[in-house]
Structure formats: structure tokens, C-alpha cells
Structure 1
Amino acid sequence: MLGFRDPMADAIGLLRPRTVIGPTLRAVGEWALRFDPFLHVRIGGLVRGTCWLVLEGHEPVFLREGDTFMLGNPPPYVLASTLDASPRPAAPVLAGADHGTVWIGPESEDDLYLCVGHIAFDDRNAALLTDLLPPLVIVRAADPHGHRLGQLIDHLATEVGIAAAGGPLVQNHLAQILLVHMLRAHAGQTDRPTGWLGALNEDGIGAALRAVHADVAHSWNLKELAEISHMSRSAFAQAFRSHVGVPPLEYLIQWRMSLARDALTRDTMSISELARATGYRSESAFSTAFRRVVGSSPRSFRDEARALAATRSDQAG
């Protein structure tokens, strides 16, 4: 069986997150740093002080101590002490970090203490999450999730600043915990469809999602899922599409194909085994569904993944 039980844990696990934390930023006086666009997610928060976050195409946002932010596939952005400060490229400044910290101004004092982490995902399935996120999510210190997020940022910043045994492992886990809490906060503060993320907060729809993820090989139909949700078929179909953004059985197909992409990339089972594991009675039925969603046959997809893995191995060697 390829599925688990919790859709958020399933999705994040399938994304195979890779985290890069820090360096932390300590600054005093007037300063501004311009960051280039990047893929996937960046999460940060203010341990102390205030600053402006200016995302290209959006209104400037003033951040205070304890606030956290999440950027999803963002365009260029600027962090600055004031809106009048002239930004300089962030990359060379961050490259000059000393023991996990970058100082702007005298090292004996600072007005700002900022911790930021970058979380990258497996490119083949990254859209599972990044398609659900706006470019910017802000969680204020006073928000229901704010205190917990502030504590996590504080802990993460401390780990970056010390050379303790197991530090990278702790940082990686803290960043992923921070990601989960930011996703929960985002799902709770928006009224637009947020895919599986927002649907988990709905008792009936959430129960259906958990059932699908617990047994992805089962031949699910609309009647069964509606019964799990304690709703009529029409009400369930309408509610599911409203919260998730796609019809229930289309979501099932999309999730099965996400699992299939991952398995083919890792080359962990034959195509016929994968067809059965994802709920298809024949390899041809699975291949037809895979081609419709992914745009290539399972065999071609696997061959391309093998070739890419071989190229990377040669380059590493």
C-alpha cells in the first residue's frame, strides 16, 4: 500500500523536503537587502526588532517581533529597516556569514534579529503544495498560531547560532515543524479553496480525504466517500469541489499519480506492481491514466528518471 493516513503528512513526505537554514541576520541602523526569486518555500520570523518586507507586485508589509512569514515561489523581494533604504544584493552579504550569523552594523548591538530558512521540494511533485500557496503568508505574533510559531523561530535561531552536536538534524526537523504550523495557520486564515490543506479542517471532507490516503488502492466511488462524510452524494461532491478545488474522484486520480511519479523516480517497483498499488486492475488502465495526468507513459517517465539519476551520479563522481 502506498498511502498513509494523514494527507498533510503524506504530501510533505512525498515532497521530500530539503531545508537550508540561516544564516541569521542581526542588523542595526539603516539597511536593505534584495533577494532573488527562488523555487518552493522560504519561512522566516523576527526574534527581535522590526523590518519591512517588500514583495515585488505587493504592498509593503511591516513586520514586528514575533511575526512569522512564508513565501511560496516568490518573485524578488526586499527586507529593509526603512522603505527609503537603498537595497543591495543579499547573496554576497549572506555569503560573509560568521558562525551562522551575518552582521550589518556593529556586532556589539543590533536592532533586528531575523531567522530565515529555505525549504526545497522534489520538483516532480512540488506543485502538490506550491500550487496551494500565495506568494506571501503573514502570521502575526498576536494570532492564534503566532505564539507557537514565534517560539519555533526563536528555537531555530538559537540552533543556527551554536555549534552543537546534531545541530543540522535539529534545524531540519524544526523547519519542517514550522512549515506544518504555517500551513495550518494559512488554511485557517483564508476563505479561498486551499486544496487538501484547507479541506482537512472540514469534518466530513477531511474524513473522506483520510480514507483515500489510508487505502489508495481501494476502488473508491462517490457513494462510498459521501457515506464516510455523512453527506448525500450531491452535497458531498459540491462541498469537496468547493473546498479542494477539484471533484473527489479527480483528486483521487491526481494523488495516485503523484505517488506513481515518486515510485517511478525512485524505481522501487515494476509498472504492473505500481498499477495494482494505485488501484488499477490492469497495467494498461494505469498507463492511460498516467499519460493523461503526467503527459508521458510510465515507462518513458521511468526511463527519463533513470537517465537523470545516472547523469547526476556521473557529475557527482
Structure 2
Amino acid sequence: MLGFRDPVADAIGLLRPRTVIGPSLRAAGEWALRFDTFPHVRIGGLVHGTCWLVLEGHEPVLLRAGDTFMLGNPPPYVLASTPDAHPRPAEQVWAGAEDGFVRIGPESEEDLYLCVGHIAFDDRNASLLTDLLPPLVTVRVADPQGRRLAQLIDLLATEVGAAAPGGPLVQNHLAQILLVHMLRAHAGQTDRPTGWLGALNEDGIGAALRAVHADVAHSWNLKELAEISHMSRSAFAQAFKSHVGVPPLEYLIQWRMSLARDALTRNTLSISELARATGYLSESAFSTAFRRVVGSSPAQFRTQARQQPHATANKS
């Protein structure tokens, strides 16, 4: 049986995140670093000090100690001591990292400590998350989730600097915990549709989503899902689309196809087994749905996945 219980855990599991943390930045004086565009997500936060984040097409943002940020598939951006400082390529500076740190200016005068990480996903399902994210999410230390996020950044920075046994494993888990908390904070900050992420905060819609994820093979219909949500069919359909961005049964199809892509990539089930596991009565019905969503037949997709077994993101 495919499917689990929690939509966030399900989605992140399908994304197969690969985390690269650090090096951390310690800086003094005037400085500015320009980062090229990169896929998926970058997360970071200030352990102490202040700096400006300048993202193309956005007003400069002043970050203070304890603030955290998340960038989703962003355009090029700059981190700087002042908004008008002339930036140099970050890649060149990062190449000189030692002991988990990049240093700018005299060590004795350091007034900034910034911890950053990059989370890349399997390209085949990356849109499950990246389509929901704006280019920039900022969480202030005084925000409802801010203190917890600041503590996670502090722990992450400590691990980067410690070079202790098991460090990369701890960093990877901390980064994924940080990602989940950032997603929660983002969902709580906006009244715009944020897909399944924001809908989980709604009691009725969230209950329906959890039911779908718990038993993706069930022949769900609008009436059943509305009853789980304790709403009429029309009210449920309208609320679901308002929060998630697509109608309930379209969401179900999209989620089933995400699971199917993952299973075909890993070659864990035959196509007929996969059809039954995703709620289709026949292989032909499953193949028709798969082709409509993905653009190729399941067999073609599996062949292509075997030729490219590891969909990897570009380096940041």
C-alpha cells in the first residue's frame, strides 16, 4: 500500500532531500557577496549581528540576530553589510573556507555570524514543495515560531563549527527540522493559498487531506471527503480549492501520480501492482491518468528513469 499519514512527512519523503550545510560566514567591516540562482531551497539565519538580504525584484531586507530566512528557487541575491556595498561572487569566497567557516575582515573584529544551508530535492517531484514557496520567507525572532527557529539555527551553527563525530548526520536532520518549521511559519504568515501546506491548518480540510494520504488506494469521492470534513459537498469543494489551489479529486490524482513517479523511479512495483496501489481498477485506467498528468506512459517513464537513475540538482 502506498501512502502514509502525514502530508508534510509524505511530501518531504518523496522529495528525497539532500542537505549541504555551511560553511558559516563570519564577517567584519564592509562586505557583500552575490549568490547565483540555484534550484530548490536555501535556508539560513543569523546567530549574531545584522546583514542585508537583497533579492532581485524585492526590497532589501534587514536581518537581525535570531532571524531566519528561506529562499525558494530564488533569482540571484546578495548578502551584505549595507544595501549599497559592491558585491563579489560568493563562490570565490566560499572556496576559501577553512574549518567550516568563511571569514571576511579581521577575526578580532567579527560582528556577524551567519549559518546557511542548501536543500536540494529529487527533480521529478520537487514541484510538490517549490511550487508552494515564494522566493523569500523571513521569520523574525519575535514571531510566533521565531524563537524556536533561532534555537535551531544556533544548534546548526554549533554542529558546523564542532567537526564532531556524526556531525553531517546531525546537520542533515537539523536542516530538515528547520525546513519543516519554516514551512509551518510560512503557512501561518500568509492568507494566500499555500497548497496542502496551508490547508493542514484548517481542521476540516486538514482531516480530509490526512485521510487521503493514509489510504491513497481508496476510491475517494467528494461526498466521503466532505463528510470527513464535516461540511457539505459544495462548501467543502469551495474551501478545498480556496486553500489548496486545486479541486479535491484533482489533488488526489496529482498526489497519486507523485507516488507513482517515485515508485516507477525506484522500480519497486509492477505497473499493474502500482495501478491497484494508487486506487485504479485497471492498468489501462492508471496509464491513462498517468499520461494525462505526467505526459508519458508509465512504461516510458520507468525506462527514462532507469537511464537517469539519480535526478540531481545543480550545485548552488
State the Cα distance separating 1:311 from its structure 2 match.
11
Question: For residues 164 and 62 of structure 1, what CA distance do their matches in structure 2 show?
Answer: 33
Q: Equivalent residue for 2:12?
A: 12
CA gap of 1:311–1:65, structure 2 versus 1, over 3 A, is: closer
How is 1:173-188 mapped onto 2 (pairs within 5 angstroms)?
Answer: 173-188=173-188
Q: Equivalent residue for 1:158?
A: 158
Question: For residues 112 and 309 of structure 1, what CA distance do their matches in structure 2 show?
Answer: 41
How is 1:1-317 mapped onto 2 (pairs within 5 angstroms)?
Answer: 1-309=1-309
Question: For residues 146 and 311 of structure 1, what CA distance do their matches in structure 2 show?
Answer: 34
Question: For residues 311 and 214 of structure 1, what CA distance do their matches in structure 2 show?
Answer: 27
Question: For residues 84 and 119 of structure 2, what CA distance do their matches in structure 1 show?
Answer: 30
State the Cα distance separating 1:108 from its structure 2 match.
2.5
State the Cα distance separating 1:139 from its structure 2 match.
0.2
Letter of the 1:221 counterpart: N
Question: For residues 119 and 23 of structure 2, what CA distance do their matches in structure 1 show?
Answer: 14
Question: For residues 276 and 118 of structure 2, what CA distance do their matches in structure 1 show?
Answer: 36
TM-score by length of 1: 0.97
Question: For residues 234 and 148 of structure 2, what CA distance do their matches in structure 1 show?
Answer: 39
State the Cα distance separating 1:309 from its structure 2 match.
2.5
Check the 8 A contact 2:123/2:311 in 1, yes or no.
no
Moved beyond 2 Å, runs of 4+: 309-312
**Identity, % of aligned pairs?**
87
Query: CA offsets, 1:268-298, max 9 Å, x none?
Result: 1100000000000000000000000000000
Question: For residues 92 and 252 of structure 1, what CA distance do their matches in structure 2 show?
Answer: 45
Query: CA offsets, 1:234-280, max 9 Å, x none?
Result: 00000000000000000000000000000001111100000000000
Q: Which runs of 5+ in 2 are unaligned?
A: none
Query: CA offsets, 1:146-184, max 9 Å, x none?
Result: 000000000000100011010000000000000000000
Question: For residues 288 and 176 of structure 1, what CA distance do their matches in structure 2 show?
Answer: 35
CA gap of 1:310–1:187, structure 2 versus 1, over 3 A, is: closer
Question: For residues 64 and 47 of structure 2, what CA distance do their matches in structure 1 show?
Answer: 9
Letter of the 2:209 counterpart: L
Check the 8 A contact 2:122/2:311 in 1, yes or no.
no
Letter of the 1:143 counterpart: D
Letter of the 2:169 counterpart: L
Question: For residues 202 and 214 of structure 1, what CA distance do their matches in structure 2 show?
Answer: 17
Check the 8 A contact 2:21/2:118 in 1, yes or no.
yes
Question: For residues 199 and 144 of structure 1, what CA distance do their matches in structure 2 show?
Answer: 19
State the Cα distance separating 1:109 from its structure 2 match.
3.0
State the Cα distance separating 1:84 from its structure 2 match.
2.2
State the Cα distance separating 1:310 from its structure 2 match.
9.1
Query: CA offsets, 1:212-241, max 9 Å, x none?
Result: 000000000000000000000000000000
TM-score by length of 2: 0.98
Question: For residues 95 and 154 of structure 1, what CA distance do their matches in structure 2 show?
Answer: 23
Question: For residues 190 and 309 of structure 1, what CA distance do their matches in structure 2 show?
Answer: 37
Letter of the 1:47 counterpart: V
Query: CA offsets, 1:49-71, max 9 Å, x none?
Result: 00000001111001101000000
Question: For residues 140 and 78 of structure 1, what CA distance do their matches in structure 2 show?
Answer: 19
SS in structure 1 of the partner of residue 47 of structure 2: strand
